Amino acid sequence: NTKKIRIALDGPAAAGKSTAAKKIAEKLGFIYIDTGAMYRTLTYKALKNQIDPKNEQELYNLLLNTVIELKPGIDGQLVYLDGKEVTTEIRQQDVTQNVSDVALHQLVRSEMVRRQQELVKNGGIVMDGRDIGTAVIPDAELKIFMSATAEERARRRFEEHQKQGIESDLHVLQAEIEKRDHIDSTRAVSPLVKAEDAIELDTTHMSISEVVNKVTELAADRGAV
């Protein structure tokens, strides 16, 4: 009798949230929802429409006229913007460099949170992001705050880029990650912070399977066998 709990997974960039969340969801037969992809998709559309990431009202109007869909694919989650697939486009560097400025606005966040809460209504989900345990699902059955040193997180992103044949520089990557973390953790509206009742998991010296096993164990303790 498996309980369809809600697992909130927060933490800074490249801590391994989405990699772990995908595998945990698979193991438990749950749905995985990547909320970062939603902010990235809005950012991608804003840049295309030459909307300034500082213009809260225009971003909000754009969001109200934007359909963002997350669908399970064979190789992970597929992202659709107004019916068109944008899974790889939203990982581009210009999107990464602007997403935290788009995500800091109150109007943008309240609409995103509203949509995300709609997606978790039935339980049986693993959701990753920055404010899941604090704002989206404050009553989640399991909250994890996943961390790792900035050096290790930059190294992981760098390795990922090398595998994908994307040219990048380790030090530039680390600077970009630290800049994004800074904006995310100091913004006025639901900043990136560990929820009081979240379990902190420092993954600096952990493998992916160790992380997945640890979270799955914690989920099992809460009835999701």
Known binding residues for ATP: 11-19
By the rule CB under 6 A, 154 interacts with ligand CDP? no
By the rule CB under 6 A, 156 interacts with ligand CDP? yes
Q: Contact, 100 vs 42, CB < 8 A?
A: no
By the rule CB under 6 A, 211 interacts with ligand CDP? yes
By the rule CB under 6 A, 176 interacts with ligand CDP? no
Burial class of 139 by CB neighbour count within 10 A (0 to 12, 13 to 18, 19+):
exposed
By the rule CB under 6 A, 70 interacts with ligand CDP? no
Count CA within 13 A, CB hemisphere, residue 199.
Answer: 15
- What SS3 state is found at 64? helix
- Residue closer to ligand CDP by CB (options 6, 17) is 17
Restricted to residues 109-148, the positions that interact with ligand CDP (CB under 6 A) are 129-132
Phi, psi of 6, deg, nearest 5: -115, 125
Which residues belong to the annotated binding site? Answer: 11-19
Binders of ligand CDP: how many residues, by CB under 6 A? 29
Cα 38–chain centre separation: 8
Pick one of 5, 7, 15, 59: the residue that binds ligand CDP (CB under 6 A).
15
- Residue closer to ligand CDP by CB (options 18, 77) is 18
Restricted to residues 22-41, the positions that interact with ligand CDP (CB under 6 A) are 35-36, 39-40
Q: Contact, 55 vs 100, CB < 8 A?
A: no
Contacts of 20 (CB under 8 A, 6+ apart): 9, 146, 208, 211, 212, 215
Spatial CA neighbour of 68 closest among 59, 76, 78: 78
- Residue closer to ligand CDP by CB (options 86, 99) is 99
In whole angstroms, how close is the CB of 16 to ligand CDP at the nearest point? Answer: 3
Q: Contact, 146 vs 203, CB < 8 A?
A: yes
By the rule CB under 6 A, 16 interacts with ligand CDP? yes
What is the Cα–Cα distance from 73 to 206, expressed in whole angstroms? 27
Residues interacting with ligand CDP, by CB under 6 A? 11, 13-19, 35-36, 39-40, 99-100, 103, 129-132, 156-157, 160, 180, 184, 203, 206-208, 211
